[in-house]
Structure 1
C-alpha cells in the first residue's frame, strides 16, 4: 500500500509538471486563440517582417526555416526560403518546410487554411508602441526567453534619446509621413505617429482617421505640412501630384526621402523602432521650419 501511494504521488507530480510545461508553452494570440506547444518550437516560419526581426532580436534567428518575401533583416534571413508575401503566402511552400509554428499577421488571412492542414499558427500584429511591447513578450513566452523585456527597454531608451536630441525651439512642426503610395499615411494612433508625437511633431493625420488611413490627396494639400517624410519607393513624382507644388514642405524643400533600408526600419513595428526614431529626429532637426528663425 505504501508503495502504491508513493507511485500515485509520483504519477500526480509528473502529470502536474507536464501540465505546467504545456501551460508555459501556451500563447494566446491576437485572435484570442490560445495555441499550445509540447515544447519550444524548433522550426518557425514568419510571414511578417517585424515578427521576423523580433524573433532574431530575441536570439532565435536559427529557428526560422522560412520567411515572407519582404523579410530582409537581419542579413542572415535573406538566405532563407521565401514563402510569398503576408497577403499572398504560398501555402504549399510553407507546408513543405514542416514548421512547428507559423507567425502571421491578421491581414494575411491564411491562418485557417494552415490550421486545417495541421499547422499551428500564432497571429500577432503590432500597430502601436504598446502592441510592440506585448508582441515581444508573447514571442519571448513562446521561445522561453526570460529577459524579453530587455528588448523593449532598449527600444524605449532609444526613442527617448531621439526625443531629447531635438532642441525645444525646433518642436511643433506640422508633419506628413507617407507609408505607401495611395497615399497611405501614418496617423497619430500608429506606432509611427506615437513616435512622432514623442519627438514633438504635430501630425496632420489625426487619430480619428485610424492608424494607417488612405487619404484623399487634397486633404494633404489643405493641411499644408511643414515637413514631409517619405520612402524612396514612394517619392517619385512627388512634385507632379496635383496641387502639391503649393505645399510648404515642397515649396521650401523640407522633404526627407529615406532609402529602402532606412524606410524599412521606419515602417516596421519591431526592434528597429529606436533606429527609426533617430532617423525621424534627424529629419525634423535638419528640415525644421523654425531653424534659425525662432518659433513663430
Structure 2
C-alpha cells in the first residue's frame, strides 16, 4: 500500500508538471450555456459548500469574496481561511448581497440557485450586470434539472464529472497545476478505497441513505440510485434499496422498512432548515418509531453517520467512500 501511495504521489507530480497555462479568452460549454472568460477572475462568490471547498482546495480562498448555502462546518483544514471570508447566508443569499460583492464570477453548486429559474438569480440577470456564472458540471452533466429543485439523473453520477469540474476551475483561474494535483490525489484515494473493499469480498449488502425530512413523522428525503450516494454504494458493492432516479426522492418509512437494508447511512449537518437535519433527532426517531425501529440496521446498531457533504458530488464524496468502507469492515460483514 505504501508503494501505491508513492506511485500516486509521483503521478500527481507528473500530471501537474505537464499542465499548461490557460490561454484566454477561454470559452467553455457550461450546463447548456456558453461562458467566456477574458482573464482569470479576480474575485468570486461561491454558492454551495462543495463549490467553496473545491475553491479552497485549489488555494483560491483569497479570490472568494463571499459564500452561501452551507450544510455543515467547513473542513477543518480550511477553518482558518474560511473565517476570513464573509458568509452572505447560511442558506440562500439574496441577489443583491451577491452583486454588492462585485464578483467577476458566481460559482454555483446547484443549477436551481443560478439557472433558468434560479431562486437566487438567473444567469441572464448576472450577465446583464457584467458578472459571469459557472455551475458545477456535477449538477447538470447527465441530469435533468427542469423539474423540481433536486432534478433527475438521466445518467449515474461518477467521480469523472467531479474531476472534470476541478479541471475546468483550474482552467478558469489559470491554476491548472493545482487542479491536476488535486485530481490525482482524489483518484489515488478512491482507488485505494476500492482496493480495500475488494479485499473484503462483501456480498449481499444493502443500504439506504437518509438525508433529512421536512418533519420527522413525514416521508424522508433519501438517496436515489444515480446520485453521489448511489455511486458510493456501487463502488463498495452495496445495493441501494431506493430505486428512484430522482436525486433525493421522498419515500415512506413503511417502504424503507420492508426493504430492510443492512445499514442505514444518516446525514449529519449543522444546517437546521428541517427538524431532521439534527443527527441526534434522526437517531432518536430510528430508535422509537414503531416501523423504523424494527429494521435490521437499527436493531444491530448499523447506523452510519456521514456528513451531508459526503453525500454530495464534491471532494467529500471520496471521504464518504472511505468512511462507509471502514464502517462495513467494523460490522464484521467481510467474508
TM-score, L = length of structure 1: 0.80
**Corresponding residue to 1:132 among 162, 174, 178:** 162
Q: Is the 8 A contact 1:175 1:226 kept in 2?
A: yes
Unaligned 5+ runs, structure 2: 1-21, 140-156, 214-218, 269-277
2:300 alignment counterpart: 252
Instruction: Report whether the alignment pairs 1:212 with 2:248.
Output: yes
Inter-CA distance 122–168: structure 2 relative to 1 (3 Å threshold): same
Report how many residues are paired: 264
Residue 94 of structure 1: CA displacement? 1.0
For 1:205 and 1:156, locate their aligned partners in 2 and report how far apart those are by CA, in whole Å. Answer: 27
**Corresponding residue to 1:276 among 320, 326, 330:** 320
1:176 alignment counterpart: 208
For 2:65 and 2:250, locate their aligned partners in 1 and report how far apart those are by CA, in whole Å. Answer: 34
1:34 alignment counterpart: 34
1:102 alignment counterpart: 106
For 1:284 and 1:78, locate their aligned partners in 2 and report how far apart those are by CA, in whole Å. Answer: 35
Unaligned 5+ runs, structure 1: 1-19
Residue 40 of structure 1: CA displacement? 0.2
User: 1:148-170: per-residue Cα shift (whole Å, max 9, x none)?
Assistant: 23322322221221222234343
For 2:289 and 2:230, locate their aligned partners in 1 and report how far apart those are by CA, in whole Å. Answer: 24
Q: Is the 8 A contact 1:187 1:210 kept in 2?
A: yes
Report 1:1-296 matches (<5 A).
21-23=23-25, 25-30=26-31, 32-70=32-70, 72-73=74-75, 74-75=78-79, 76-84=81-89, 88-104=92-108, 105-108=110-113, 109=118, 110-111=121-122, 112-127=124-139, 128=157, 129-147=159-177, 148-166=179-197, 167-181=199-213, 182-206=219-243, 208-232=244-268, 233-234=278-279, 235=282, 236-258=284-306, 263-288=307-332, 290=333
Residue 77 of structure 1: CA displacement? 1.7
Q: Is the 8 A contact 2:228 2:312 kept in 1?
A: no
User: 1:189-218: per-residue Cα shift (whole Å, max 9, x none)?
Assistant: 112211221112122123x43332222222
Larger Rg: 1
Higher relative contact order (CA 8 A, sep 6+): 2
Q: Is the 8 A contact 1:188 1:203 kept in 2?
A: yes
For 1:211 and 1:192, locate their aligned partners in 2 and report how far apart those are by CA, in whole Å. Answer: 9
TM-score, L = length of structure 2: 0.72
For 2:225 and 2:183, locate their aligned partners in 1 and report how far apart those are by CA, in whole Å. Answer: 21
For 2:308 and 2:42, locate their aligned partners in 1 and report how far apart those are by CA, in whole Å. Answer: 27
Residue 265 of structure 1: CA displacement? 4.5
